[in-house]
Amino acid sequence: MATLRNNETGEEVTEASFGAGPVDAVYTCIDKVVQQPNELTEFLVQAVTEGIDANGDVTVRIEAPESRGHSRTAQGRTRRRLFSGRGVDTGIIVATTKVYLQALNKLCASDEDDAEVAIAAGDSEVATVGI
């Protein structure tokens, strides 16, 4: 189960989900609440201390689904829109949740920036989503 709070409005939303494991279940819960399509492209957990209470260093990278073809690099290659989160905690589920939310917040902020640019250019059909 996950409860997310919108820092701008104070609204809280709670959702529950099942998954292939605890991380999958939490990410599925968050995705239900946030409703921001993305693809998990990297998930890395490393121990940074020893022992049963070791700190886990977690890195997550997500990709916006429409990013392929979003724009081109100077060399003509397709630019991918990747967003990452990284953090350390003794609780792996807590750490993975925090870093996933970091990456999602970056993705949402990027969409808001794109919307502002599009609105300034006269495109009125752009919507923004925030966490």
Q: Looking at the predicted structure, is the pLDDT value of residue 17 above 90?
A: no
The tens digit of pLDDT for each residue in 22-63 reads 999 999 999 998 889 999 999 999 988 888 888 889 999 999
The tens digit of pLDDT for each residue in 69-120 reads 556 777 877 778 899 999 999 888 999 999 999 999 999 888 766 555 444 4
Please report the DSSP string for 18-56 in residue order.
--SSHHHHHHHHHHHHH----EEEEEEEEE-S-STT--E
Q: Which two tokens stand for residue 14?
A: 């709670």
